[in-house]
Structures are given as C-alpha cells and as structure tokens.
Amino acid sequence: MLTDQLVFDARLREFDGLADLAAGAVSRPQSWCEEMDVLDRANRMLGALYAEDVESTACSPVIPTAELTRIRNNVVSQFAVLRNAYSNVGGSLSATGLVRQYQAVFDAMEGGSYCHYTSDAHLVQDIQRSAAGANQILGNAFNQYASNFAGKLAPIRAASRDLQAAASSATTSVEPVLTAYKTLWSHNFQFELYTGVNATLDNLLAEYDRLMNGSNVLFNQGVARVQNQFEAEVRQSNVVFGGFGAAWTFWDTKDGATGYGMYVDNIRMYQECLNKINRYVVLDTPLNRQIFKEIGQHVADVKKQFASFPKFVRAMPTAGFTLDPGTSALKFFSRQLTLNLAAAAGAHFTSVIAPGRSLIGTGFSYEHGGKMPPHSEHKDGRDCDIFSAYFKVGDPAYDEQKAIQMATFLLSNGVSRLIYTNPTVVNAANAACPGNPVAVAGAGHTTHMHFDVDQAS
C-alpha cells in the first residue's frame, strides 16, 4: 500500500559536547605562549659588566674581593643549575622552568656593574662566561623546543588538510567533517613556551594558531554546505506537501477520480523528497530538531488523510439490474448496502413490476468518492440513480403506476430519501409508506429516480 512506503527516518548527529567549538567559541585548552623580553634583559645586564683597574683608574667604590667572589660563586652556581635544566629538556614543551632559571643566572649578578681590583678580573670573567653560556643554553634549548613543537604539530597539519578536504567536499552528511574536526583536536597538546627567542619556534606557534583557529572556520564551512543543501531539500518537500491540499480540494469540489489520482501522484513525489532528505546527516541543533518534527507531522497528516479516502465496492449487473453503457465505468462503485438495495430493486422490477425488463443503473460513486460531475451528490457511496423508459416523464412508454410501484418498493425497503420529478408518484409512495415518507419532488429527475440508503452528504 502506498502509505506503507511513505517513510521518514530522522537522522541527527550529536556533536559530543563540541558545539561551542563549532560555533567558533573556542580557546586553546590549557595551552599558551607568552611574549618575553628574556634576551633583551639579559643582554642589557651583560653589557653593563665592566672591569676597571683601581690602581690606574679613579672608579669607586671598589667592590671587595670577598663580595665579588660571593657574586661570582652565586652566578656560577645558578649557571650550573641552568645547564642541568637544559640537559633535561628532552621532548618537553614547557620552558617556564628553564627560562626562570635563565633569569636566575642574571639575577645573581646583582646589577652586573662592578668596580674591582685588577687581581679580581678572573672573577668578572667567570661571571661573563656564565652569562654568555646562559645565552647559548637558552638558544640551544629553544632550538630543541622548536624541534619538539614541530613533531607535535605535524599530525595537526595533516589533520587540517583532511578537514579542509572534508569541508570542501561535504554534500549530504556532516560525519566526515565532524570526524576530521575531532581527529584534528585529538592531536592538540599542551605547551608553555615563549615567543621572541627563536624565529623557527615563533613561526611554528603562529602556524599552530592558524591551524587550530582555522579548524573552526573549516568545520563551519563543511557543516554549512550540508545544512544549506539539506534546507533546500526541505523547502522543496514543503512545496510538494502543499500539493496534497490542492489535490484534496480538487477531489472534493471538482472531480473525485482526478483528485484522488493527484493525491496518489503527490504521495510518490513526496516520498521522493523524503528519500532525498533521508540521505542527510546533519547536526543535532534546535533548528534541525524542529525541521524533523515538522516533517514527521507532515508524514502523519498525509497518512491519516490518505487513509480517510473511501474504497467502495464495484457494482455488478444482477437479475433485473444492468449498468448504463453510456456512463463511465469509473462511476460504478458504492457501499455494499447501496448495491444490495439496487440489486433487490432490479429483482423486484423484473419479477413484479415489469416482468422480463431491467432497471438501468446510471451511476453510483467513484471508487474513492469525491465530487462526481455532473451530479451535486454521489460523493460517498450512498446514492444511486435508476432508469427505465417507464419512469421517463413524457416518454411514450411512461407508466405512472409502475413508477409508483418502484418508489413504494424503495421506501418500504428503508431508503433514506427518494427524489423524483412527478409529485403524483412522490405523494402516492409517501402515502403507501407512512412509516418512511421520504420521497421528495425534485427538478432534474424526470428520467430517473434517485435514492439514498442514508442521507447523502
């Protein structure tokens, strides 16, 4: 049955808590980099180191040897700690400890401007060597950080290419885009690094920002491609859905057979629309939930309305009752009760009223009801027109008594209404059947009698 084929399968895709990311409201989770003037500060301190011979130069106050020795020892000690920290860098992406220790080396210099004895020059040289070594260690360490960062960035770079490909080719499903997006973010990593120390690392950090922030743009582009096409299909389905109302109105007011055919054809077209919509997998958003809810209601409405069309029984010739060959075969359908009474009227006519003659049925209803031109009624399987030359007012064969006999038989068998033009026949039948005086005189019924088994709508 057609309604069994009218199926709709709503498919929404949960975003697993990443909806904010899809909307672009994203920050790098627990990962950061910081601008620092590490080298500038250290170089300024290093440049402030100088040695003056107090025996030949008037510099004062001269720093005592013991004090300078203490400073030298502290600087060398902090430098040793820095050297150990560098040896432990390994695959780390956290520079906070190493930079802190680097700063500690220069903090230990206590200003770095010393007026000293010539004999203490070796102490100042030790301080200078520690400062130069600290700068070298910082440079080497940030080279290592750059190498470590590049290794971590490589899978993100590859995942970004996959996401770009998925976003640009997205058609009916957000799944490839969503998978690529989640894959990219699964490669995200934490780091605590500084910029302004290593140009290579700075470039990598900038690329990281571009890729991670760009992932939201790509994701939204891919989702939008699917969503836009999905909404276009939904709009088309709504246009087709509007055809059901037009078909129903045509069925009710123009022509039932044609209107029913229009409805069936529209179901096929609507099913094609649903099949296209069912190919889509879209994000589970309030908008899409509302769209699927409306489509589901449309499907339910169509099934309910289609099921409300009647399906009447085909009329067949019986003893004393034949079907008018000049009437379209589409008009010979009715309720079984109506057909039974028509058959009984034919049997009575051929056996009692006009032996050997038959009534002619000129029309019942369409198989699925509806307006049946040129009749104003005959919509619902309750109506029947019977014809005989004996009933045709003005015909040479017209027989008023036979018409009265036929009308009386119908009233006595429980028709809910009988229409005939001749008031004499109408009155006689009503008088003969005081328990069911439902015959009425009506224009347009000079050639036949019209009866209902129940009041026609």
Q: For each successive 10 residues of the chain (457 residues), what is the average pLDDT? A: 51 46 35 51 48 53 94 97 96 95 94 87 94 95 97 98 98 96 95 92 96 96 97 97 96 96 96 95 94 95 93 96 94 96 97 96 93 89 95 94 98 96 96 96 92 76
Residue 73 makes CB contacts below 8 A (sequence gap 6+) with: none
Instruction: Name the region of 386 (left: φ>0; alpha: ψ -120 to 50; beta: rest).
Output: beta
| Last residue within a domain, chosen from 307, 323, 343 | 307
The DSSP string of 230-263 is HHHHHHHHHHHHHHHHHHHHHHHHT-HHHHHHHH
Distance of CA 280 to the CA centre of its chain: 7
Between strands 417-420 and 439-441, the pairing is parallel
Instruction: Tell me whether residue 178 is in a domain.
Output: no
Residues 204 and 222 both lie in one domain: no
179 located within any domain: no
Can you give the residue range of the structural domain that contains 399? 313-452
For residues 236 and 373, state if they share a domain: no
Say if 101 falls within a structural domain: yes
151 assigned to some structural domain: yes
* pLDDT for res 38: 52
Residue corresponding to tokens 């026949």:
425
- Whether 174 is in a domain gets the answer no
Shared domain check, 198 and 71: yes
The answer on 220 and 127 residing in a single domain is: no
Q: Cis check for the bond before 374: say yes or no (omega within 30 of 0).
A: yes
CA distance 217 to 160: 11
278 belongs to a structural domain: yes
Residue 266: per-residue pLDDT:
96
Regarding whether 197 and 66 lie in a shared domain, the answer is yes
Distance CA 76, CA 440 (A): 126
Structural domain includes residue 457: no
Domain boundary among 144, 178, 213: 213
Q: Can you read off the two tokens belonging to residue 12?
A: 């929404």
User: Are residues 21 and 68 located together in one domain of the fold?
Assistant: yes
- Residue 11 confidence (pLDDT): 55
Residue 419 is part of a domain; what is its CATH number? 3.30.1380.10
Q: Are residues 62 and 139 in the same domain?
A: yes
What does the pLDDT read at residue 433?
97
- CA dist 17 → 179, 182, 186 (Å): 14, 11, 14
Using CA atoms, how far apart are residues 409 and 131, in angstroms rounded to an integer?
127
Q: Does residue 71 fall inside a structural domain?
A: yes
Q: Are residues 396 and 345 in the same domain?
A: yes
Q: Which bin fits 51, alpha (ψ -120 to 50), beta or left (φ > 0)?
A: beta
Q: How many domains does one find in the chain?
A: 3
pLDDT of res. 20: 38
pTM of the model: 0.75
Contacting residues for 177 by C-beta, under 8 A, at least 6 apart:
163, 166, 167, 170, 218, 219, 222, 223, 226
Same structural domain, 265 and 205? no
Do 233 and 353 fall within a single domain?
Answer: no
Domain boundary (240, 275, 307) is at: 307
Residues 352 and 431 occupy one common structural domain: yes
254 and 274 part of one domain: yes
